[in-house]
Each structure stands twice: as structure tokens, then as C-alpha cells.
């Protein structure tokens, strides 16, 4: 690309003569560095850990590249720049999950004790065209399918045909459209996944596991210890850290570790907790005593996109002084919503910060207002934190479980298609019942625009067929970039 003659001039030319990567790889490296530059500056080890985790599977890469998808969807020259058929009908400000994908679905125990499964990560929630959520969710199922297919390639290649992955992707918009049409019939048609009824073998399993893990006191037992008549935070590795090989280099990746914090951080967290108590759905239910902080640790290893973010686990007193009802909270740093480059930010967006945005959108988009009754937020200067309870009830679907479950015969490919359809229905419910940024609830407008759903299904499937292989290729590009430039993609070197 660059004229060789300029490079021959060497330092006199003062022009860039670095090896030229293919344009897509260069773009990928460029945008990954920009998106993570503050992490690369703040904690290079965690930033490198994020890239290493992203490299470990196509789905992990997909999880870590929502901003790249957004760029491809919205930017000139983007690999996924394509018409938006429903946005063209006026639906440009629908409340979006922002990062809807199969591993952002998990269990909750609501305020009245109902076990439910719902979307569980709203860090990227924003307003925009509804196709964005539908496309990302469908793409996620397609990549999950391809990954499971690859996982089975050696041991049981006949269990999952790659061609069937299109069915997984198509089930999402089909379920979405069915839900929208169903909601036109009556509110009772809304898909809210609870253990009161069956929602397919995969979600039923998730609900059962949530009930079992929650009732068994998981999380609290993992991260705390009882010493005499009091409960204290555990320090150490729940799951040990590991090294990920990247070419001739390696990168430490935390799996699940907690570390003590200094007194300054402890005081800071206590202030955040005090602020959080005013933001829960029922502030009267979280009194001063219930929010008394018993211990704080820094937690490392969670998430992929959010891997470098600050996370603290906080043990609070809970409803009584008894150690059995102590509550484990997670304070997680939240950043900006999913970018939509070039699109105008609505000036009447009803949130004044990222904490209130994430929590407000979560309540708007989930099945129940109190999916997590301890959900709230706190701000610390320019930083915002989402606060939630950490219990065994809050589990999550894992793509890595698909292949083993298929081998074990616990699930069949049709069960995954059903899961995709149900997730599509949940997404449709979320969009339809939430308020748009400028109007009332979006349901009637979506129903009027979506018709029988054919346009949405066709658009989504075409998108996934076109863009899915690009994501897989990008994952391969990331592996090559990390091998060539190191765990931090050459930043600061």
C-alpha cells in the first residue's frame, strides 16, 4: 500500500513503514486498542487478559467485540452496513438490551421468591433500532452453534450439522415476531420464563440449577467463610488463574480470584454502598442495618468484555444479624452504552449517568421490576457502579456446555433451537413492554411495523449468513495479531 520509495528514505521520510496488515486485521487491531485504551493504561495486565480470553473461542471473541459489530453496522465502510427494514418504519429509538446474546441470559430470584430466567447484563443498554438486538442475539446463537459443531468435530461430528446453525439464528427473529404478535392478543401472552411452567429442556435445566444453587447457598459459600459466630470474606482463588499461550508469549488470565482491598478502597466502597441503598426498587427493604458492610474484596476473572472493569464483592449484614441471611453484593463498574457511531444520541434520554441507565433499563426490559430486588447503582465522581446481589440463583447459560450436553444426550439440537426461539420471544417482550426514548411503550409500534415477521426473519438470517463468517475470520485475525504483537496488541511497546 505505502509506496516503497518512501520507506526507502527511512527516517528522512518520517512516514509509517510498519508491516502492512490486511485492512480488516489493521482495523480490528486499531479499534480494539481504542476501545480498551483506558484499560491498557490503567491495568495492562487485565487488558491483556481480556484479549487473551477473547482469543480462546469464537464465542468469547464475539462477546468481546460488541463495539466492533456496532461499527460494522453503523459506520461507512462497515462490513455489516445494510438497510434497517424496521427502523425505516420509524422504530429508531426502541429500548435495547444492547448486548443480547446467549450467555447474557440467566436466573434470578425475584422479590417474592419466584425463580425466573431473563436477560442479565444491561451494561450496553441504550435506545436504537430494534434490529440491533435481534441481529446480535441471532448472531450469538449462530456462533454458539458453530462453536459447538467445532467442539464436536472430533468426538461426535454427527450430533450437530453446521448447516443447522442457520435454524438457530432464524429461530430468534421468528420467536421475536411471534411474541410481538402474541402481545397484541393480550398481556398474559408475554413470555416470562419462570419455573411455574416448562420453557424447554434447556431453560428448565437453567431454572432447576438456579433453584438448587440458590437454595444451596452457592456464591455466599464460595466467597465467604464462617469463623465462629461471624461471616468473613474469603481471600484467594476460587478457581486458579491460568496462562494463555499467545504465539511465543503467554498471558495470565484470572478465572475466579478475590483479593483484599486497602483501607481507602474499603472506605470508598462503604460510601458507594450507602449511596446504593437509596436506589433499590424498595429502599425501605434495605435499611441501614441490612446494608452494614462486613467485608470487601476485589474480584478478578469475571466476564469477557467487562473483564478489566473494577469489581468488588461486598458482604453486608442482610435482614438480620444472623449469619445465614448475610448478603453478598457485587459492585461492578459500568461504562458507556453500546456505541452507535454516527447516530444521534437522543437529547431526551431519561438517564443522567451510566449507573442509572443500566439499572433503569434493566428494570424496564426485564420480566419483573424486581428480578433482583437488591439491584441499584452508585456513582463516584465520573465512575458509575451497578450493584446487584450475588447468589446461586443468578446463574447463566454457557455456550461451552452445549457440546457436552449434546454428547450426554441431555439436550438435542432441537432443544437449542427452542432456546433460541424462547430468547427471541423474551427479547420481543422486553422491547414491546419498554418505553421508547421519545414515546410510550414500543409494543404497538413494533406490532404495526413487523407484520407477520417475514421481513425481520429474512433480514436477520441474511445478516447472520453474511456477517457470521466475518466474525469467525476476525477471531482468527485476533489470534494472529496477538501472536505477532503480544497480549496488548503492541500498545505501549
Stretch that binds other proteins, among 187-195, 272-280, 333-341, 425-433 (CB under 8 A): 333-341
Closer to other proteins by Cβ: residue 18 or 163: 18
Would you tell me how many other CB atoms lie within 10 Å of the CB of residue 187? 10
Out of 53, 299, 357, 425, the residue judged to bind other proteins by CB under 8 A: 357
3-state secondary structure of 193: strand
Please state the closest distance from residue 97 (CB atom) to other proteins, in A.
17
Please state the closest distance from residue 106 (CB atom) to other proteins, in A.
25
Torsion angle, alpha carbons of 110, 111, 112, 113, to 10 = 50
Closer to other proteins by Cβ: residue 92 or 143: 92
369 interacts with other proteins by CB under 8 A:
no
Name the nearest CA neighbour of 138 among 52, 69, 53, 210.
Answer: 69
Q: What values do phi and psi take at 472, rounded to 5?
A: -60, -40
Out of 56, 87, 290, 407, the residue judged to bind other proteins by CB under 8 A: 87
Please list every residue from 54 through 83 that binds other proteins, using CB under 8 A.
Answer: 71, 73-78, 81-83
Closer to other proteins by Cβ: residue 7 or 243: 7
3-state secondary structure of 414: helix
Please state the closest distance from residue 389 (CB atom) to other proteins, in A.
25
What separation in angstroms does the CA of 434 have from each of 26, 175, 296, 335?
Answer: 39, 18, 35, 22
Stretch that binds other proteins, among 44-52, 139-147, 270-278, 340-348 (CB under 8 A): 340-348
Out of 4, 5, 18, 264, the residue judged to bind other proteins by CB under 8 A: 18
Stretch that binds other proteins, among 1-9, 153-161, 283-291, 389-397 (CB under 8 A): 1-9
Closer to other proteins by Cβ: residue 6 or 407: 6
Residue 167 and residue 161: Cα distance in Å, rounded? 11
42 interacts with other proteins by CB under 8 A:
no
Stretch that binds other proteins, among 57-65, 190-198, 341-349, 472-480 (CB under 8 A): 341-349
What separation in angstroms does the CA of 150 have from each of 57, 153, 172, 244?
Answer: 10, 5, 22, 20
Residue 177 and residue 183: Cα distance in Å, rounded? 10
- Classify the C-alpha dihedral 108-111-115-117 as positive or negative: negative
3-state secondary structure of 15: coil
Is the CB of residue 367 less than 8 Å from the CB of residue 279? Answer: no
Please list every residue from 259 through 288 that binds other proteins, using CB under 8 A.
Answer: none
Please state the closest distance from residue 171 (CB atom) to other proteins, in A.
25
Name the nearest CA neighbour of 308 among 66, 34, 42, 490.
Answer: 42
Is the CB of residue 479 less than 8 Å from the CB of residue 116? Answer: no
**Exposed e or buried b per residue across 311-320, where buried means at least 16 C-beta atoms within 10 angstroms of its C-beta:** bbbbbbbbee
Out of 8, 10, 20, 278, the residue judged to bind other proteins by CB under 8 A: 20
Closer to other proteins by Cβ: residue 129 or 175: 129
Name the nearest CA neighbour of 113 among 210, 190, 201.
Answer: 210
Q: Where are the alpha helices (DSSP H) in 199-317?
A: 201-215, 220-223, 263-276
Please state the closest distance from residue 6 (CB atom) to other proteins, in A.
7
Stretch that binds other proteins, among 50-58, 87-95, 187-195, 461-469 (CB under 8 A): 87-95
Is the CB of residue 210 less than 8 Å from the CB of residue 117? Answer: yes
Please state the closest distance from residue 235 (CB atom) to other proteins, in A.
32
Out of 64, 107, 129, 140, the residue judged to bind other proteins by CB under 8 A: 129
Q: How many helices (H) and strands (E) does the chain have?
A: 16, 16
What separation in angstroms does the CA of 138 have from each of 311, 419, 450?
Answer: 29, 11, 17
378 interacts with other proteins by CB under 8 A:
no
Closer to other proteins by Cβ: residue 16 or 197: 16
8 interacts with other proteins by CB under 8 A:
no
477 interacts with other proteins by CB under 8 A:
no
Please state the closest distance from residue 89 (CB atom) to other proteins, in A.
9
Closer to other proteins by Cβ: residue 276 or 411: 276
Closer to other proteins by Cβ: residue 20 or 476: 20
Out of 347, 408, 409, 440, the residue judged to bind other proteins by CB under 8 A: 347
Q: Where are the alpha helices (DSSP H) in 321-393?
A: 354-365
Please state the closest distance from residue 132 (CB atom) to other proteins, in A.
11
6 interacts with other proteins by CB under 8 A:
yes
Interface positions with other proteins (CB under 8 A) = 1-2, 6, 13-18, 20-21, 23, 25-27, 29-31, 33-34, 71, 73-78, 81-85, 87-88, 90, 92, 129, 336-337, 339-345, 347, 349, 351-354, 357, 382, 384, 438, 489-491
Amino acid at each position: 500500500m505505502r509506496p516503497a520509495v518512501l520507506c526507502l528514505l527511512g527516517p528522512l521520510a518520517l512516514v509509517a513503514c510498519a508491516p502492512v496488515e490486511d485492512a480488516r486485521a489493521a482495523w480490528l487491531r486499531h479499534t480494539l486498542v481504542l476501545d480498551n485504551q483506558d484499560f491498557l493504561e490503567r491495568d495492562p495486565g487485565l487488558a491483556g487478559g481480556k484479549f487473551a480470553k477473547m482469543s480462546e473461542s469464537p464465542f468469547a471473541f464475539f462477546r468481546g467485540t460488541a463495539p466492533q459489530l456496532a461499527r460494522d453496522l453503523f459506520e461507512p465502510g462497515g462490513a455489516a452496513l445494510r438497510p434497517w427494514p424496521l427502523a425505516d418504519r420509524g422504530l429508531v429509538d426502541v429500548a435495547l438490551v444492547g448486548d443480547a446474546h446467549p450467555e447474557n441470559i440467566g436466573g434470578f430470584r425475584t422479590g417474592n421468591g419466584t425463580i425466573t430466567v431473563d436477560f442479565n447484563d444491561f451494561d450496553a443498554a441504550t435506545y436504537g433500532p430494534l434490529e440491533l438486538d435481534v441481529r446480535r442475539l441471532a448472531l450469538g446463537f449462530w456462533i454458539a452453534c458453530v462453536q459447538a459443531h467445532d467442539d464436536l468435530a472430533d468426538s461426535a461430528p454427527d450430533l450437530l450439522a453446521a448447516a443447522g446453525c442457520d435454524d438457530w439464528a432464524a429461530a430468534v427473529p421468528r420467536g421475536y415476531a411471534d411474541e410481538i404478535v402474541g402481545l397484541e392478543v393480550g398481556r398474559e401472552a408475554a413470555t416470562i420464563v419462570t419455573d411455574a411452567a416448562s420453557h424447554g429442556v434447556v431453560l428448565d435445566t437453567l431454572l432447576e440449577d438456579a433453584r438448587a444453587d440458590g437454595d444451596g447457598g452457592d456464591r455466599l459459600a464460595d466467597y465467604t467463610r464462617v469463623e465462629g459466630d461471624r461471616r468473613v470474606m474469603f481471600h484467594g482463588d476460587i478457581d486458579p488463574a491460568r496462562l494463555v499461550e499467545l504465539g511465543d508469549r503467554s498471558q495470565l488470565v484470572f478465572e475466579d480470584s478475590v483479593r483484599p482491598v486497602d483501607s481507602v478502597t474499603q472506605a470508598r466502597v462503604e460510601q458507594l454502598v450507602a449511596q446504593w441503598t437509596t436506589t433499590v426498587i424498595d429502599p425501605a427493604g434495605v435499611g441501614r442495618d441490612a446494608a452494614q458492610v462486613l467485608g470487601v474484596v476485589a474480584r478478578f476473572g469475571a466476564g469477557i468484555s467487562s473483564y478489566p472493569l473494577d469489581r468488588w464483592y461486598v458482604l453486608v449484614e442482610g435482614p438480620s444479624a444472623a449469619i445465614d441471611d448475610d448478603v453478598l453484593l457485587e459492585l461492578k463498574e459500568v461504562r458507556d452504552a453500546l456505541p452507535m457511531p454516527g447516530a444521534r444520541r437522543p437529547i431526551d434520554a431519561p438517564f443522567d449517568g451510566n449507573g442509572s441507565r443500566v439499572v433503569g433499563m434493566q428494570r424496564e426490559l426485564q420480566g419483573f421490576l424486581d428480578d433482583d430486588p437488591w439491584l441499584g447503582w452508585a456513582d463516584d465522581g465520573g465512575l458509575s457502579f451497578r450493584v446487584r446481589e450475588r447468589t446461586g440463583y443468578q446463574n447463566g447459560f454457557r455456550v461451552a456446555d452445549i457440546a457436552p450436553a449434546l454428547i450426554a444426550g441431555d439436550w438435542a439440537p432441537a432443544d437449542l433451537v427452542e432456546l433460541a426461539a424462547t430468547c427471541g420471544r423474551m427479547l420481543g417482550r422486553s422491547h414491546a413492554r419498554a418505553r421508547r426514548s421519545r414515546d410510550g411503550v414500543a409494543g404497538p409500534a413494533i406490532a404495526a411495523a413487523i407484520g407477520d415477521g417475514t421481513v425481520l426473519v429474512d433480514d436477520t438470517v441474511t445478516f447472520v449468513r453474511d456477517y457470521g463468517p466475518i466474525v469467525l475470520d476476525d477471531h482468527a485475525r485476533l489470534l494472529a495479531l496477538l501472536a505477532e504483537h503480544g497480549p496488548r496488541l503492541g500498545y505501549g511497546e
